[in-house]
Structure 1
């Protein structure tokens, strides 16, 4: 994103400059909302169905060990394994083979269950609903943000610009523009003193508002103040510290 190197910044612009929200911004925010909604539904599914189903399998393992294996051991001690096997078959229990006790590993594999089922606590189940609700609320917030930005416009005029929030920034009131993040993130910070009052900062976002580069170029052409462009990198000499602005 070159500063002052495009036709858009070298030709006199037509006023007003209307910078509307870019499709890229809406696409990115829609993807974020969709991702949050998907995670939220996944959390709710686990809390409602996934974790309880896992606990039912853990209950099956307890039943297998405390009922099936225990009664088998009792029958074996009494020399009645054949009777136990017949009764087990009638009840649909696993029976083992050749007089050997049934094995949980085999029984779990036949039913598509994990060999070592995990049991979730009620706290863990409740947390899924909290996470699901919170994530869905975040998705709703992003969706509302998309709706709020549908009609936002960054408007540039010959001697001032109006931010998407409605802040009027007169070029004559601007005393500093920081565009060190412009090349990488499309962000610039414009400091101004409305009518000589206290300083305020306005963000100009070229990734979000199409054509914001023209607005910023107009500011730079008309302002009488400091333009910060360099980014300090390791190994290079640091920039001198900024002096505080004079009292209004």
Structure 2
């Protein structure tokens, strides 16, 4: 009895599928983070930076007119309303900020410190603001522009798209890991399952076998029709010489037992010679 040849999923396919799964998974996490928290947190930092800039300008105008107590009382009444002018509609709309953010939000307490505000210009333009971010454990940087609700919704759309790709890649990986292609002395066993006797194979298409390791065969069905079977040598078995080229061994065995229509490219050396023309 002829030995059975079994072609299992190749490390090449498994590595590629795992890489795709990892890539789409990372993208999903990044877009989810930006849609859920990231863009909203950056919007918060943007408005905070504007509040510090506004406080700096107002302090510069009023410092000679106010005592430290007066300035603290004045700063305690100032708020951040988290609104902006929409570029398209030119209307004032609310800026998306993290859930739980008080709207309007009082100025940060540090802005009511007269001495800190007075010393800020000598310490650098952003020193006071950066110190505040460090103290409040805010790790985001102020963006150049606000992220609108439309941009945030776009992150959710791409997230769901990437999630579908993740599930698709996971499905393909798990499905392929549980499959194999085999052949013995009686029949061919495709990756989709079942047993196909050699006598039931009607056609064999090898036109992509040499270049892509891909072939197709058609098997007769009990109803009188045909079903198309895919033979993917790169996914199952492989062509590594150190492994004995399992996919090539399977194809040789299949061709030896195949008696139907064979479809393959014919090279010039294999073309029949043209008959001589009389009188030439």
Give 3-state SS (helix, strand or coil) of 2:146's partner. Answer: coil
Q: Would the alpha carbon gap of residues 178 and 83 (structure 1) be closer, same or farther in structure 2, given more than 3 Å must change?
A: farther
Superposition TM-score, scaled by structure 1 size = 0.67
Give yes or no for contact 2:28–2:163 (8 Å, CA) kept in 1.
yes
State the partner residue of 2:224.
197
Distance 1:44 1:174 in 2: 49
Give yes or no for contact 1:20–1:154 (8 Å, CA) kept in 2.
yes
Give 3-state SS (helix, strand or coil) of 2:6's partner. Answer: strand
Give yes or no for the alignment of 1:163 onto 2:155: no
| 1:10-59 superposed Cα distances (whole Å, 9 cap, x missing partner) | xxx94322222222222221121112111111112222332122101221
Q: Where does the alignment leave 5 or more consecutive residues of structure 1 unmatched?
A: 1-12, 237-248
State the partner residue of 2:121.
96
| 1:177-209 superposed Cα distances (whole Å, 9 cap, x missing partner) | 222322332111113333682232211011111
Q: Would the alpha carbon gap of residues 81 and 96 (structure 1) be closer, same or farther in structure 2, given more than 3 Å must change?
A: farther
Q: How far did 1:118 drift? A: 2.3
Which of 20, 35, 56 lines up with 2:44 in the alignment? 56
State the partner residue of 1:75.
62
Give yes or no for contact 2:120–2:128 (8 Å, CA) kept in 1.
no
Which of 144, 147, 150 lines up with 1:120 in the alignment? 147
| 1:201-223 superposed Cα distances (whole Å, 9 cap, x missing partner) | 21101111112323322332222
Q: Would the alpha carbon gap of residues 143 and 115 (structure 1) be closer, same or farther in structure 2, given more than 3 Å must change?
A: closer
Distance 1:113 1:55 in 2: 9
Question: Considering only aligned residues, what root-mean-square deviation do their CA atoms show, in Å?
Answer: 3.7
Superposition TM-score, scaled by structure 2 size = 0.60
Give yes or no for the alignment of 1:228 onto 2:228: no
Give yes or no for the alignment of 1:206 onto 2:233: yes
Q: Where does the alignment leave 5 or more consecutive residues of structure 2 unmatched?
A: 72-110, 134-138, 238-245, 269-280
| 1:123-152 superposed Cα distances (whole Å, 9 cap, x missing partner) | 322332343344234324423432333331
Aligned residues: 211
Q: Would the alpha carbon gap of residues 57 and 16 (structure 1) be closer, same or farther in structure 2, given more than 3 Å must change?
A: same
Distance 2:142 2:166 in 1: 37
Give yes or no for contact 1:54–1:117 (8 Å, CA) kept in 2.
no
Which of 34, 42, 59 lines up with 2:30 in the alignment? 42
